[in-house]
Amino acid sequence: MVNKIETKLLHVDKNVEDNKSCVHIVDAARLIRAGEVVAFPTETVYGLGANALSDEAVGKIYQAKGRPSDNPLIVHIGEMSQLALVARDVSDDAQRLIDAFWPGPLTLILPSTSAVAKLVTAGLPTVGVRMPDHPVALELIRQANVPIAAPSANLSGRPSPTSAEHVRKDLAGKIAAILDGGQTGVGVESTVIDMTVYPALILRPGGVTYEQIKSVLGQVEMDPAFLVDAETSPRSPGMKYAHYAPKGELWLVSGETAAVRRKMEELLLQAKRSGLRTGVLATAESASLWSGKPFVDAVLPCGSSSDLAAVARDLYATLRAFDDLQIQFIVSETFPRTDMGLAVMNRLEKAAAGRILSV
Ligand code: TXA
Ligand code: MG
């Protein structure tokens, strides 16, 4: 049992030009240097940061999140000079991606140096590194003057946090401070790409798209582990480890629009009949179709089907909102796996833990 600690809530204005003088960033950087854990905004989701060079500090991250310690963490750097401290053998291809996308939502897997805390890499010879594109995150790292290891600042298994309020709900009483820099922008996590193999291999789709990476490297592959064939379904529930999940049971329905709507309605009616509170994860286009239906308790719009980046931005907040409304059964249509749609579908599939129907 972890003792409850007081969590400081520190507001920062991310639009303020001169973050150097922000007392709250100074305060948070001091906590990082003292070996404490601080949540901070990035352009993707909120991170839960600690000194990446200290096993003792990083241990507190795993403890606060309840995260299995065999899942390695991403190291965040604030300036290019910090890269050599944590990673070796930066290939020409890796350098090309750095030039094109840093600061930004792209994590490179590179050979690690011995300075990186063992708990960060979970014993692997490699380390994931990125430079976040967020003024508050960058200033925090610079002032802490150490690279910061940070997973997403949610309890393990919950949707990642895109606001300080999400972090507070999951982690208040467990961490030293939360730097509140408002809503994050991209909404889903960084793309993780393994640069220690050739061709480079995307391990997790995210804020930098496959198409963007391909345009820089020419050749890049995707880990088959995250590619689900929409035609082979239903996939057996529980086959995959549930992640990013709302408390309610999420079902995805893919196929031709009219058939999808019919199937969604059938599932909702069934759930309602068995006494569950039901919800639809809708888009701007489909929301009006579902609102007012007696078998739907909550219709939550999440972006637009013509703007996949907007779906990504709203996704985690929408999944969490279903929890706040005590929705027990949720259905969603699927999205094209192009551009940001690849990351959106990956997160939805994990949240649905295999409950995918194609009609
Ligand atoms: O956008 C993001 O990436 C956010 C913000 C806070 O930066 N962070 C984040 O961290 O999503 P986390 O811990 O939730 O996800 C890290 C991912 C995991 O899938 C982990 O397995 C992978 O990166 N990873 C980290 N180091 C790795 C390594 N050495 N080899 C392979 N995968 C690694
Ligand atoms: Mg995470």
The pLDDT tens digits for 201-239 are 999 999 999 999 999 999 999 998 877 544 333 343 333
Nearest ligand to the CA of 61 is 1
- Out of 3.40.50.11030, 3.20.10.10, 3.40.109.10, 3.30.420.40, which CATH number does the structure's domain 249-358 have? 3.40.50.11030
Contacts of 31 by beta carbon, 8 Å cutoff, 6+ apart = 37, 38, 176, 177
Q: Ligand 2 centre from 160 Cα, in Å? A: 6
Residue 348 in contact with ligand 1 by CB distance below 6 A? no
CB atoms within 10 A of CB 233: 18
- Taking only the tens of pLDDT, the chain with its 359 residues reads 457 899 999 999 877 667 777 899 999 999 999 999 999 999 999 999 999 999 999 999 999 999 888 889 999 999 999 999 999 999 999 999 999 999 999 999 999 999 999 999 999 999 999 999 999 999 999 999 999 999 999 998 899 999 999 999 999 999 999 999 999 999 999 999 999 999 999 999 999 999 999 999 999 999 988 775 443 333 433 333 457 789 999 999 999 999 999 999 999 999 999 999 999 999 999 999 999 999 999 999 999 999 999 999 999 999 999 999 999 999 999 999 999 999 999 999 999 988 999 99
Residue 126 in contact with ligand 1 by CB distance below 6 A? yes
Query: What's the DSSP call for residue 81?
Result: G
In this predicted structure, what is the pLDDT of residue 225? Answer: 81
Residue 47 in contact with ligand 1 by CB distance below 6 A? yes
Q: Name residue 183's beta-bridge partners.
A: none
Cα radius of gyration (the chain): 20
Q: Which one of 121, 166, 189, 196 would you pick to mutate in the ligand 1 pocket, going by the greatest count of ligand atoms within 8 A of its CB?
A: 189
Residue 150 in contact with ligand 1 by CB distance below 6 A? yes
In this predicted structure, what is the pLDDT of residue 68? Answer: 83
Closest ligand 1 atom number to CA of residue 43:
1
Q: Which of 293, 313, 250, 256 is nearest to 301 (CA)?
A: 313
Nearest CA to ligand 1 atom 15: 151
What does residue 118 show for φ and ψ, rounded to 5 degrees? Answer: -60, -35
CATH architecture, domain defined by 8-222: Alpha-Beta Complex (3.90)
User: Which sign, positive or negative, has the C-alpha torsion 317, 289, 346, 251?
Assistant: positive
In this predicted structure, what is the pLDDT of residue 237? Answer: 38
Residue identified by tokens 């989701």 is: 45
Residue 195 in contact with ligand 1 by CB distance below 6 A? no
In this predicted structure, what is the pLDDT of residue 224? Answer: 86
Nearest ligand to the CA of 245 is 2
Nearest ligand to the CA of 124 is 1
Query: What's the DSSP call for residue 307?
Result: B
Contacts of 278 by beta carbon, 8 Å cutoff, 6+ apart = 268, 271, 272, 295, 296, 297, 298, 327, 328, 329, 330, 331
The ranges assigned to domains in the chain are 8-222, 249-358
CA distances from 206 to 255, 293, 315, 330, 346 (A): 24, 34, 13, 24, 9
Is the distance from CB of 124 to CB of 74 less than 8 angstroms? Answer: no
Is the distance from CB of 261 to CB of 254 less than 8 angstroms? Answer: no
Residue 112 in contact with ligand 1 by CB distance below 6 A? no
Instruction: Give per-residue pLDDT as tens, 67-99.
Output: 888 889 999 999 999 999 999 999 999 999 999
In this predicted structure, what is the pLDDT of residue 2? Answer: 55
